[in-house]
Amino acid sequence: MKKIYSKILHTSLATIMFTFFSASASSGDIYVITSSGVTLTGDDVKDIFEGNKQTEGGVKLTPIDNASLKTEFLNKALHLTPEKYTSLWGKKVFRDGLIPPATKSSDLEIIAMVKSKPGTVGYVSEVSGDVRVITKY
């Protein structure tokens, strides 16, 4: 009987520790980035990711979502839940014919896209390379 309680206690502690450290890791800073040739401000971010701002200085803007930070970004930057964001884009696709942001799975993929295609706007947990930070959440 002691083995069962011991196993339950260890499993519970491991779950609590995992949850604590996961929450800590996901509550870090989020940097919104773009290529160095595009001039945007923090005020533009919400409009870009909601499909309301599509160009800047003649450059087509392409927002890219980061799967690992998406929920936190939507909460901090757009004040939306993932469900409301999906609904918003569903309406934009149907009504306006817009294409929702593609989703990449990591900071490295976002940075590579930003560096390779002018006008790409994404968000990452750490900044590296020749990218311009628009704002930080």
pLDDT at position 27: 64
Answer for the pair 49, 120: CB distance below 8 angstroms, yes or no: no
pLDDT at position 37: 82
Rounded Cα–Cα distance for residues 76 and 69 (Å): 11
**pTM for the full predicted model:** 0.79
Rounded Cα–Cα distance for residues 38 and 48 (Å): 13
pLDDT at position 1: 53
Rounded Cα–Cα distance for residues 92 and 97 (Å): 6
Q: CB neighbours of 134 closer than 8 A, spacing ≥ 6? A: 32, 33, 34, 40, 41, 42, 44, 45, 121
pLDDT at position 36: 81
pLDDT at position 129: 75
CATH classification (class only), 28-136: alpha beta
Residue 30: CB atoms within 10 Å = 19
Rounded Cα–Cα distance for residues 132 and 40 (Å): 9
pLDDT at position 31: 98
pLDDT at position 84: 98
pLDDT at position 95: 96
* φ/ψ of residue 13, rounded to 5: -65, -40
pLDDT at position 4: 47
Q: Please report, for the chain, the start and end positions of each structural domain, with discontinuous segments joined by +.
A: 28-136
Decide: residue 129, CB within 10 A, 0-12 exposed, 13-18 middle, 19+ buried: exposed
β-strands 131-136, 102-104 pairing: unpaired
**Residue segments in the chain with a per-residue pLDDT below the cut of 70:** 1-27
Token pair of 8 as six digits: 């339950």
